[in-house]
Structures are given as structure tokens and as C-alpha cells.
Amino acid sequence: MGIDLGTVNTLVCTTTKGVVLREPSVVAIDYSKNPPEVIEVGLAAREMIGRTPGNIRATRPLRDGVIAEFEWAEKMLKRFIEKVNGGPGAFGMRPGRVVIGIPSGVTEVERRAVADAALQTGASIVNLVDEPMAAAIGAGMPVDKPTGSMIIDIGGGTTEIAVVSLKGCVVSKSLRTAGDELNENIQDHLKKVHNLSIGERTAEEIKIRMGSAYRNQEEEEMEVRGLNLLNGLPHTITINSTEVRECLFPTLMEIVAGVKSTLEMTPPELAADIVDRGIVLAGGGALLAGMDELIAKEVDVPVHIANDPLSCVVLGTEKMLNDPTYLSILDATEFRG
């Protein structure tokens, strides 16, 4: 079983069926029970964010690509694995080997927390693979060849930038600047400029519908509903795509700076390969309109979007489980219960 345990979404694949689960990394907890009890995970829990009574809290147990609330992350992961195995009654089937993609910049303590969470769900062997390597494999890049390949995986909590060659990361950088920060940019902008308070889900909807990194489309307008901070009453405003692009720009330039920094550290021979082959963009951030054009303009290297950017990491874990070529990567990242 392969898992992309993301800050925003969790994807699960099996060696025989491909991607079998794609759900938000959200868990809803009822604190009126003793001990507190998980009532929903995934999509059902996400629908509850910002809409629950005092005794129920819908939360994301991962922040910036790592586990922030271990107990709830473990329970969420267990529920997802149960779903894949056909429900709690079928959980007698141990998942055996589980390959999980994690950010390249996490500490050893954070790695152990992820491994422990997976082992607690019943897995017998857990492999923790760096997300940029898994994403590069999932995007079909020739990571086993002596050729430089550059991948940028913009997720919800982290942006992973790496140059890979011969099944290893030659240069890598993990930025805790990604999709979540873009949502916060929109929320902060509306508070400062329009005195309007909106929730995280509304900010994400604005980013998806109106967000762009480069001026390459017709200007659009959108009505946004929220709470007026001056009088505390519901209020509706109209924003345009230029306004949204400008508030996202500083964070996008932080990602571009990370790409430049990684390229500066890349050995010349591999840098020449990257100029020839281009950079591959993966993750949810790859879907932001004009993101590929912004990076290409700033670093003067062609940028291509992966065929299925949202699934690159989990597809990479699937290939690693099925193809003996990648066995050496798995052997070096193994945890056992």
C-alpha cells in the first residue's frame, strides 16, 4: 500500500488497484465523550469545518507536512486504511508494507512520528520516502539514470524542490510555504482592505476560482460573503482576479526564490540537463493558473506541469512497490514494528 499523507489531502493506492482513496486530511472529534471520540474523517469531516457545535471540533492533524496531533493522525490513517480494506470488519487483513511520502526537510523525530502512526494501524513494514523522489517517479522522470531531473512539488503545507539523479536527491530544499499560506494571504488581504472575515474554505475557493500567478487570462470578478469586522454583520463584497493575484504574489516569489537557490547549488552537468529537459511541476500548486509561466520567466528554464500533478506522490509510491528497480530506495528507508 502506498500513501501520500498530505497536509490537505491523503491519497492511498494499492499495488493491484492503483489509487483507491483520495480524501481531505481532516478528522472530526466529539469532545463530549470520555475519552474524546472520532466521529468522521475525510470528506465528511471537511464539510464540518467552521460549522460545528462547541463539543465537536473538525481539525487537520497535519501542519506544514508533518504530524501536529499524533493521536488524531493515527486514528485518521487507520480509518482510511480500513476504508481501503473494506471496513472495520475486514481490518484483519494487515496492510503489510506501507510506503509513505513525507517532506524531505522533516526531522528524525517527525519521521519517527509518521512511522509510528502507520505501524499502529497494523502495518508490518513502513517505508518513508522523500516526497520529491516519489513525485519524480510518479511523474515518469528518469530518476534511475545519470541525468539531472528537477521536480517542484507544491502541496498544501510544504513546497518540495529537488534535483534527482541515480535514485537519489542531489540537491533538495523543503519550504514550509505552500497552498495553506496562499489561503492565509487571501484571508489577511480581505481583513485589511475590505474589513471582511472569511473562513479557510472560502479562501481556498477564491484561490481555485480566481487565483493566478501570472497575468495570462481575462480579468474576472467574484462575489465573496463573510462577516463585516466593523459591525459584526454578514456582508458581501466583489473582488477581481488582479486583486487576488497581487495578494498572492509575495508568497509565490518565496517559492521562486527557493527554486533559484536550489538551481544555484546544482552541479553544472546536472544544471545543463535541467535546461535541456526542463523543470516538472507537481502538487496542487501546479494547478494555480500561470504558475509554470511565472517560474519559467523568473529562472529562464522551461517548466512543464505533470500529467496528474495531484497524484504524483502516491503514483510514485505505487511504482516503487511494483518495480524492483526502486528496491534500494525502499531498503534504505525501512521501519519495522
How high is the mean pLDDT of the chain? Answer: 91
Q: What is the pLDDT of residue 72?
A: 92
Q: Is 222 left (phi over 0), alpha (psi -120 to 50) or beta?
A: beta
Question: Cell 486530511 belongs to which residue?
Answer: 25
Average pLDDT value for residue range 7-32: 93
Topology of the domain comprising 142-306:
Nucleotidyltransferase; domain 5 (3.30.420)
Say what angle helices 179-194 and 241-264 make with each other, to 10 degrees: 140
φ, ψ of residue 217 to 5 degrees: the values are -150, 170
Output the pLDDT for position 134. Answer: 95
- Which of 333, 326, 311, 11 lies closest to 139, judged by CA? 311
Find where cell 492503483 sits: 18
> For the chain, what are the domain ranges?
2-25+60-133+314-336, 142-306
pLDDT at 111: 87
Question: Do 142-306 and 2-25+60-133+314-336 fall under one CATH topology?
Answer: yes
Nearest CA to 270 among 142, 179, 165?
165
55-110 pLDDT tens trace: 999 999 998 888 889 889 989 998 998 888 876 544 445 568 899 998 888 888 88
pLDDT band at 135 (very low <50, low <70, confident <90, very high): very high
pLDDT for residue 217:
65
Domain 2-25+60-133+314-336 indexed as CATH 3.40.50.720: no
Q: Given phi > 0 = left and psi -120 to 50 = alpha, else beta, which region is 232?
A: left
Q: What's the pLDDT at 90?
A: 46
Q: In what order do the strands lie in the sheet with 168-175?
A: 168-175, 159-165, 149-154, 279-282, 303-305
Query: What is the rounded distance in angstroms from the CA atom of residue 298 to the CA atom of residue 337?
Result: 46
pLDDT of residue 216: 65
